[in-house]
Chains A and B, each alone.
Chain A
């Protein structure tokens, strides 16, 4: 069983850092998955100065390392969904209540929390094909 936090807005790196550390502090989590569109390492934009008429722009404010518990992790996505896998045997009702309290504080623009299975439990046909091809 997994829990999905779906914020109504896309999260910045600062807020992701805060919310992740709050979730870890609850002590009921085995795994956290951050899901969202990939942050671009570079963008091609027009330029009047460059002879080719284009230029490569690098750097995104959210493309940085975030402090995750005791270690640093590189953030590569603009976070739109947080999927939490709780430790086995945890009281789900208590965990959900605490998560909601925490989200009310840290996500003032609103959020949705769902319980279900949000990751694959067994490979699909495409996954098997990829495995075969590689």
Chain B
């Protein structure tokens, strides 16, 4: 029996290639900017920088857990070991060539990280998990190519704006006005944390990527860029899935010959 080789996404267009790249845990995200741990903690708004993590249970080593073979196989994440609280980070992705889309980020979460619970909605992508795990993941997601300061945003609530036209500086609409564009420096600054609480001093997240760079890195299909229907291998795969489901349903024998 041949070894199973995991496949990530069909298609030959640039968006499909990007999807495969972002989903494959063997490839590393390209780092484009750096945000300090302290600044990220302030933007997330879960705790003050330098403050100890609050816990909901004692560390696992001190707890007497019942005998269970699964506990021996699965190693707990650092946050679980320490007994951290469950916190969340939420991303909003604009439809205007944001590098990621909620669905793809969720798939990437499942294939790359452990101990997280991503949710997926049309314009937003909440990720729940233990506090220190969330901080680690948020840092990687914010600092790398899967984030753009102008087209992707950290928003705990009032996420409306992903499908609206951008403003003159290319920023996505935000009713709570968590971030602004600093014209002098050319960077996007967060003036409130993801929950809308004002910060003591603005946090610089980074320079927005130019339009052509975003078009290269995006996973989105759009009528004015890469059309979904133009990627024939991807379309054939989707059509085959539909056909198999319609003609054979839950009967695996029915698939034969299709």
Known pairs A40-B175, A43-B176, A45-B192; A9 contacts B167 (CB<8 A): yes
Interface residues of B in 147-164 (CB under 8 A from A): 164
Which of the residues B164, B165, B166, B196 comes within 8 Å of A45, measured between beta carbons? B196
Main secondary structure of the interface of A (DSSP, over half): loop
**Bound Cα distance from A9 to B166, whole angstroms:** 5
Interface residues of A in 90-126 (CB under 8 A from B): 109
Q: What 0/1 pattern do residues 4 to 16 of A give for CB contact below 8 A with B? A: 0001111110010
* Size category, B interface: 10 to 19
Number of interface residues of A (CB under 8 A): 15
A86 within 8 A of B: no
Interface of chain B, main secondary structure = loop
| B166 engages A43 (CB within 8 Å) | no
B168 CB within 8 Å of chain A: yes
- Candidates B164, B168, B177, B197; contact of A43 at CB < 8 Å: B177
The answer on a CB contact under 8 Å between A12 and B167 is yes
B171 to chain A: closest CB distance in Å?
10
- The CA of A40 and the CA of B175, in the complex, are separated in Å by 9
A4-42 contacts to B, CB under 8 A, are 7-12, 15, 40
Q: Measured between alpha carbons, how far is A48 from B197 in the docked complex, in Å?
A: 7
**The residue from B164, B168, B170, B177 contacting A11, defined by CB atoms under 8 A apart:** B168
Hey, which chain A residues are within 8 Å of B179, CB to CB? none
- State whether A10 touches B173 (Cβ < 8 A): yes
**Which residues on B sit within 8 Å (CB–CB) of A43?**
175-177
